Amino acid sequence: MLNVDKLRQDFPILHQEVNDEPLVYLDNAATSQTPKQVLEVLKHYYEHDNANVHRGVHTLGERATSAYEGSREKIRQFINAASSKEVLLTRGTTTSLNWIARSYGDANVSEGDEIVISYMEHHSNIVPWQQLAQRKKAVLKYIDLTEDGELDMADARKKITEKTKIVALNHASNVMGVINPIETLIEFAHDVGAVMVVDGAQSAPHMSIDVQKLDADFYTFSGHKMCGPTGIGILYGKQSLLEKMEPVEFGGEMIDFVYLQESTWADLPWKFEAGTPNIAGGIGLGAAVDYLTEIGMDNIHAYEQSIVEYVLPKLQAIEGVVIYGPKDPKKRSGVIAFNIEGVHPHDVATAMDMQGVAVRAGHHCTQPLLQHLNVQSTARASFYFYNTEEEADKFIEAVIATKEFFNHGTI
């Protein structure tokens, strides 16, 4: 088990008061906090090694390059990719998914072909496919959900057909709190000759990922949800696919030779990475990967499961609270979307903030999901490995107090 009290010492931001109450940060699905170990690496980089990468022969340029490329190797190990050529550094999950849709999608999807996603996707894993479908006159299909808010696997089997070229699904939902059976879904895609794009924004920070074992064709995630900086993320793609794909952005760094009328491309992974990259971000993400690896992704996953097993029944026991997603805590991740009947989720989040508890409210970039569930918006608490049982208790107390306040007018 984790020594959470000790780990919390690594996060200066957690030790503050908000509205005269100790901060309970439960918005980790949106952005996680950054440990001192990562902050120190960023500071060291700017104080000692800051220079552009890849081109400089001078010492600082070489140090920056070796730290940046060293991070790529750390991330390769973190997801067990076969080669660092398969690890592209992007601005985040959104950019990664857009690149796949633009590059792989434009080259491989034609009129009448099908792209299969689900009702529980984030807008980042919907809009790029809508755009691709519109460009190519292809058909975008949605896998249904079960009563319990899980993917309907029978419907997945039915919707993924010989016409399907791309299946794009999240590994874990940012609203329903489910971890999808992604291995089986990858098999469904491969059975019909489609490629599988996995949105790992809510899984890579919380569990160990082995892209080779999964046999994922593409796997995407963001640094800022896994103790790293914002503005940096990963696009993993199988080398055989990336080799055949065209870059999406063009300019410096990604070329081999530029003639007057045409150019040739650099080798993987640089062929996709045009312009000066987010060097500090990449180095910071490498430090975040070191930090998480030291704790152990299996330990993180087990701890988060135990927190959910602790808190979910307490939330379920509060009358007038509606919880979205599976009732069985064993089926869930650390994400819990909920509503208090008769209270607007923005009011819930505001009242909870007054009690020091940070939860998110809104559509969580999943409007089709909320339309499907027939709700306007929800509140959402999302736990990470540094959240304690005491914080879970404070969260429950804050929900009860918020409910009382809107029913009786006192907190």
In the complex, which residues of this chain contact ligand PMP (CB under 6 A)? 29-30, 92-94, 122, 124-125, 170, 174, 199, 201-202, 222, 233, 365
Amino acid type, 213: K
Instruction: Give whichever of 92 and 247 is closer to ligand PMP, judged by the CB atom.
Output: 92
Q: Strands 17-18 and 114-118, how do they pair?
A: unpaired
Contacts of 400 (CB under 8 A, 6+ apart): 318
β-sheet with 378-382: strand ranges across? 321-323, 335-340, 378-382, 360-362
Angle between helices 279-295 and 297-316 (to 10 degrees): 80
User: How far is Cα 383 from Cα 29, in angstroms, rounded to an integer?
Assistant: 8
Token pair 């190519």 is found at: 136
User: How far is Cα 400 from Cα 149, in angstroms, rounded to an integer?
Assistant: 25
**In contact, 107 and 246? CB cutoff 8 Å:** yes
Instruction: Give whichever of 195 and 232 is closer to ligand PMP, judged by the CB atom.
Output: 232
User: How far is Cα 249 from Cα 365, in angstroms, rounded to an integer?
Assistant: 26
**In contact, 26 and 32? CB cutoff 8 Å:** no
Residue 292 burial class via C-beta count within 10 angstroms: exposed 0-12, middle 13-18, buried 19 and up: buried
Which H or E run contains 18? strand 17-18
Q: Three-state SS for 19?
A: coil
Check 192, 365, 375, 401 and give the catalytic one.
Answer: 365
Token pair 């975008």 is found at: 140
Instruction: Give whichever of 8 and 332 is closer to ligand PMP, judged by the CB atom.
Output: 332
Is 365 annotated as catalytic? Answer: yes
Instruction: Give whichever of 170 and 339 is closer to ligand PMP, judged by the CB atom.
Output: 170
Instruction: Give whichever of 124 and 208 is closer to ligand PMP, judged by the CB atom.
Output: 124
Contacts of 126 (CB under 8 A, 6+ apart): 117, 368
3-class SS letters over 207-265: CCCCHHHHCCCEEEEEHHHCCCCCCCEEEEECHHHHHHCCCCCCCCCCEEEECCCCEEE
Instruction: Give whichever of 201 and 268 is closer to ligand PMP, judged by the CB atom.
Output: 201
User: How far is Cα 152 from Cα 118, in angstroms, rounded to an integer?
Assistant: 9
Number of residues that this document lists for the chain: 411
Instruction: Give whichever of 93 and 103 is closer to ligand PMP, judged by the CB atom.
Output: 93
Residues catalogued as catalytic: 365
